[in-house]
Amino acid sequence: MFTLASPSFLGKPKPAPPIVEFLRDLVYFTTYSTEPRARDGVVFFSIDEKLAYNSFYLDFGPHSLGSTFQFCSVMNKMVTAAAKTRRKIFFYSAPDPQLRTNAVCLLACWGLLFHGMSAERAYAPFTRLSFPAFHDASPAVCEYKLTILDCLQGLERALKCGFVDPKTFNIHEYHHYEQVENGDLTWISPKFIAFAGPQQSYNVSSEGYVMLTPEHYMPYFVKNNVTLVVRLNEKEYDETQFTRKGITHLDLYYPDGATPPPCMLQRFLQICESTPGAVAVHCKAGLGRTGTCIAAYLMKHFHFTAKQVIGWLRLCRPGSVIGPQQEYLESIQSWMWELGDRKSREILSDVKKQGSGSSRVSGLLTTRAISVFGVKKPLEIMERQNTQGDHLMRLKRTFQAGTSA
């Protein structure tokens, strides 16, 4: 059975999608439901089917730094060629809100990284458009709103702090080490590496999942002056595999999906501040607890806002900071800024006087119930079941295996 359209709508064409000028007389953004027809003087370009975001659950972006720089490399070449032939570039996406959001975020990052734009300037052409907020790496409803502008401001601050250099960023190295079989590690700043937790013995599952040991990380850590490893999850390997090679090891366990108690966070900050070299931090998947603790350090020492640091972490290492950890970072923002402004020198001096005491320090556990993906469970049950980190690691290995297949 067919229903005729109302007479008032008959013959009315669909409204044309808005065309946003990004670089004057050169680069534009718009949306198309189908591939547009060729036009003289115009180059159409889309990444919808070429640059996929591998989601853990309901997260859909932003794209990683590796993918962002891949996009930037293509854009730089296209702009150079288009300028010579006096053609315009129409970068477009499908109307899907998530695809539009990722596309605009990529384009704005390119403007920031390679055209000297501020975060606000790069986002300004799109302020009249609406975009969904980015979702955390969970299947639960996310009330926390992380926007494109938040991610841009995080990237802008990271640039100013020297965390990333567009001229020297190594795309191949980034993609190599993000692979599970190559370490699943990511530099967040010159001080911090985030990585997935090693296991006691090397293993390859029947599905092809690779489990690495501390020994697999040693050559890279030694080469890059890693002098401290911080473990935030339960013990799954013998830490002497690090300490006998001269790398200090710190245990600060707290439950998966939770946030660190104040005394534990202060200990993390103090020991990292007193460590002369780089610090490699891991939990189960190197995303939630790891991202939260590193974020606190960056807020304290580099005055990131909570939203900026989450945006930066998600660009560096997609999936970082999950669930209540987002609101937690908001709640400690002023505290971290106060510590950074007034107490960092005093704290650093005290730590140097006291010394680290031991190469292995155990954290105190006070929480007996935690929320995982919005479901509150007693800690005793969580210790016997697969944790949030287990789920995230399994998903990451699955989509990486699918990509390489």
The per-residue b/e assignment along 120-146, b for 16 or more CB within 10 angstroms, e otherwise, is eebbebbeeeebeebbbbbebebebeb
112 contacts: CB under 8 Å, gap ≥ 6:
118, 119, 122, 152, 155, 156, 159
Q: How far does the chain reach from its first CA to its final CA, in angstroms?
A: 45
Question: Hey, what are 173's tokens?
Answer: 């190295």
Phi (first) and psi of residue 33, to 5 degrees: -75, -30
Contact 111, 117 (CB under 8 A): yes
Q: Nearest to residue 378, comparing CAs of 370, 389, 386, 366?
A: 370
Catalytic residue selected from 72, 283, 293, 316:
283
Q: 158, exposed or middle or buried, with CB in 10 Å at 0-12, 13-18, 19+?
A: buried
Kindly state the DSSP code that residue 42 receives in the 8-state scheme: E
Q: Nearest to residue 82, comparing CAs of 18, 38, 34, 25?
A: 25
Question: Which runs of E-coded beta strand occur in 256-359?
Answer: 278-282
Q: What radius of gyration, in Å, describes the C-alpha atoms of the chain?
A: 23
Give strand pairing partners of 42.
88
In this structure, the chain runs to a length of 405
Contact 320, 314 (CB under 8 A): yes
**Separation between Cα atoms, residue 53 and residue 121, nearest integer Å:** 25
Q: How many CA atoms lie within 13 A of 174 on its CB side?
A: 18
Residue 283 annotated as catalytic: yes
Q: 376, exposed or middle or buried, with CB in 10 Å at 0-12, 13-18, 19+?
A: exposed
Q: Nearest to residue 150, comparing CAs of 286, 304, 296?
A: 304
Which active-site residues does the annotation give?
A: 283
